[in-house]
Amino acid sequence: MTISNVDPISGVDRVDGDSLARALLDILPAAAILASAEDRGFYSSDVYCAGVTADFVVSPDSVDSLQKTVQACTTRGFAVIARGGGLSYSGGYLPIKARSVIIDMSRLTRIVEINKMDMYVTVETGCTWVQLYEALRREGLRTPYFGPMSGFKSTVGGALSQGSVFLGSTRHGTSAESTLSLDVVLADGSLLQTGSASGVTRPSPFFRTYGPDLTGLFLGDAGALGIKARATLQLISFPAESRYLSFSYQTAEALLDALTGVSRSGLAAECFGTDPYVQSRRIHEQNMAKDIGYLKAVAKGEGIGAAARMVWKGRRSLGGESFVMNVTLDEPSRQAADAHVAMVRSIAMQNGREIEATIPRAIRSLPFNYPNDILGDRGERWVPTHALAPHSRGAEVVAALEKFFGGREDELRRHAIEWGYLVFAVTTRTTLIEPLFYWPDEPMPFHERMIEPQYLARLPRLEPNPEATAAVHSLRSGLIQLFAELGLAHLQIGKAYPYLQTRQPAALNLLESIKKSVDPRRLMNPGALGFL
Ligand SMILES: Cc1cc2nc3c(=O)[nH]c(=O)nc-3n(C[C@H](O)[C@H](O)[C@H](O)COP(=O)(O)OP(=O)(O)OC[C@H]3O[C@@H](n4cnc5c(N)ncnc54)[C@H](O)[C@@H]3O)c2cc1C
């Protein structure tokens, strides 16, 4: 009888695995190396699907041990993949082959420096957005972009590597625009500093564009070029006054007109809209526990009066039958807020009516919460897809979406797949369109570990439905193909959106040369951005 040397799950040769395990134990405590099949399976799955199971999951707690870990893996021919909070759904950190090690960044959470004089903050990239927000708020400060809706668990490093928008993004742009400098661990374990911090004399991260933008090179790279260990972000004063407005519209065109108009005014911190399907889901999903959480937060921040208004007027005027636009303004004073609210109203009410601003107020009252929305309120699976278009093409993309889904109605009906969309204004120029899928299938073990236990216990547990999930895969691929044909852009490229395949030759050649320079053996997150 021959004894196989191959691990049945990962397919890795145990001799190599043992050598790496010994090397890792010299660098990290045993508790920071997860080798059980269950843990490795969890860390090798995202919100949407599972990848090839990683051979090891390791959690360094210093930049030095991160560098040594990367070097130990790559010198033995193992791929390394950074994972932040694990809250993405475009396969970014999913291994695509055996001999992969996931580097869990969740123990690299230090806030290294809050520099109030030069207005920047340096953090280790495993810091979550909620941790950063709370630490800065105590100092009367904020980063301009200050996190995605998943920021209760998702990390600074994940957002910078994915490209992320939400809190603050209509005014301040994506996570990239708030970033000054990075410390990046390259595939050989060496550390690269970017921006003015790359100087030899008294380096400091205060200025990003000193010469070619090396910081920008690593932003939105899906971790294909290196592992961000530390990031320096800009700071602004915490706004003195925030205001909330919501409006309802009869058509998608009217919503998009209002959204782009408000966006072009440059006044909104956040401006986003929902179609009637997403709007009505939002109303149904307001379960009591969540409401109470939000109400407590509103009452704490804005007083009992605002919380009471939310209860009495909010549910009646959420606008479940229509398209809804929500606007948040961040202002330095009450006078500025009054003036800007009037200006936004005059743009937004040309074709719509004002409703109670329940949603933007609730979001800002509790900006970061458990990621319970990764399942629908009937226990269904959920996944978003998105594309970025210039404002001038938003209506064209929404029409293309309607046509796409209209042509696949039989499939949608047969598998009880539902869809709707969000729109979000990113700066004065760009509309993000985000179709959401909901479909009946059982949760993955990933969902069971990510969702708040009490919330999960209340959700119905659906039967396995692989046919519906396969149909969603096919629809989602079709949609991604459509977006590529329309020449649209994406954040969260990961391994889901075609990036390298859609670049012009000159850009492709440069990208290939850069990859060759920083990761000649292609061991840094294989598959990300399309680098195989
Ligand atoms: C409920 C929910 C709400 C969401 N809301 C938003 C939203 O409002 N806006 C938005 O933009 N997105 C949103 N997302 C998507 C996603 O959560 C964000 O993009 C988030 O920034 C991902 O961060 P993460 O730490 O979870 O990254 P991960 O999912 O862990 O990783 C994402 C990618 O980044 C890479 N990576 C992670 N850390 C590093 C590092 N230190 N160095 C190099 N590469 C790294 C990974 O390899 C992977 O390719 C949401 C997702 C969910 C589930």
pLDDT tens figures, 401-445: 999 999 999 999 999 999 999 999 999 999 999 999 999 999 999
Q: Pick from 306, 288, 285: which is nearest to 297 by CA?
A: 306
Q: What is the mean pLDDT of residues 498-524?
A: 98
pLDDT for res 16: 81
159 lines ligand 1 (CB under 6 A): yes
292 or 315: which carries more pLDDT confidence?
Answer: 292
Of 43, 81, 87, 133, the one to substitute when testing ligand 1's pocket (max ligand atoms within 8 A of C-beta) is: 87
pLDDT tens figures, 88-105: 999 999 999 999 999 999
Q: What is the mean pLDDT of residues 144-150?
A: 98
Q: Whose CA is nearest to atom 22 of ligand 1?
A: 158
Range list of H helices, 310-416: 334-348, 358-365, 394-406, 409-414
Q: Residue 50 carries which DSSP code? A: B
pLDDT for res 508: 98
Distance 430 CA to ligand 1 centre (A): 21
105 lines ligand 1 (CB under 6 A): yes
Q: Pick from 191, 175, 197: which is nearest to 228 by CA?
A: 191
Residue 160 Cα: closest atom of ligand 1: 21
Distance, CA of 248 to CA of 32 (rounded, Å): 50
Distance, CA of 103 to CA of 78 (rounded, Å): 12
- Do 244 and 357 contact (CB within 8 A), yes or no? yes
149 lines ligand 1 (CB under 6 A): yes
Please say if the pLDDT value at position 125 is more than 80: yes
Residue 83 Cα: closest atom of ligand 1: 30
pLDDT for res 282: 79
Q: Distance from CA of residue 506 to its chain's centroid?
A: 29
120 or 318: which carries more pLDDT confidence?
Answer: 120
CA angle centred on 168, ends 422 and 438, rounded to 5°: 25
CB burial of residue 1 (10 Å; 0-12, 13-18, 19+): exposed
83 lines ligand 1 (CB under 6 A): yes
> Could you identify the residue written with the tokens 């549910």?
315
Across the chain, mean pLDDT equals 93
pLDDT for res 289: 44
15 or 266: which carries more pLDDT confidence?
Answer: 266
Please say if the pLDDT value at position 241 is more than 70: yes
Please say if the pLDDT value at position 313 is more than 70: no
The partner residues of 387 in beta bridges, in order of sequence, read 433
Distance 125 CA to ligand 1 centre (A): 12
Distance, CA of 180 to CA of 182 (rounded, Å): 7
158 lines ligand 1 (CB under 6 A): yes
Three-state DSSP class for residue 331 = strand
For residue 11, the number of C-alpha atoms closer than 13 Å in the C-beta half-sphere is 8
168 lines ligand 1 (CB under 6 A): no
175 lines ligand 1 (CB under 6 A): no
CA pseudo-torsion sign 246, 249, 252, 254: negative
Terminus-to-terminus CA distance in the chain, angstroms? 37
Structure tokens at 520: 């000649």
pLDDT tens figures, 341-394: 999 999 999 999 999 999 999 999 999 999 999 999 999 999 999 999 999 999
Q: What is the mean pLDDT of residues 300-305?
A: 57
pLDDT for res 1: 39
Q: What is the mean pLDDT of residues 166-170?
A: 98
pLDDT above 90 as % of the chain = 89
Distance, CA of 111 to CA of 342 (rounded, Å): 39
> Could you identify the residue written with the tokens 């210093």?
62
Strand order in the sheet with 191-193: 111-115, 120-124, 227-234, 179-185, 191-193
Residue 528 Cα: closest atom of ligand 1: 49
Structure tokens at 395: 């209506």
Distance, CA of 206 to CA of 188 (rounded, Å): 27
* Domains detected in the chain: 14-107 (3.30.43.10), 111-237 (3.30.465.10), 240-369 (3.30.70.3450), 370-494 (3.30.300)
Of 42, 44, 83, the one to substitute when testing ligand 1's pocket (max ligand atoms within 8 A of C-beta) is: 83
Q: Distance from CA of residue 318 to its chain's centroid?
A: 26
Strands (E), 250-369: 270-274, 323-331, 353-355
pLDDT tens figures, 176-220: 999 999 999 999 999 999 999 999 999 999 999 999 999 999 999
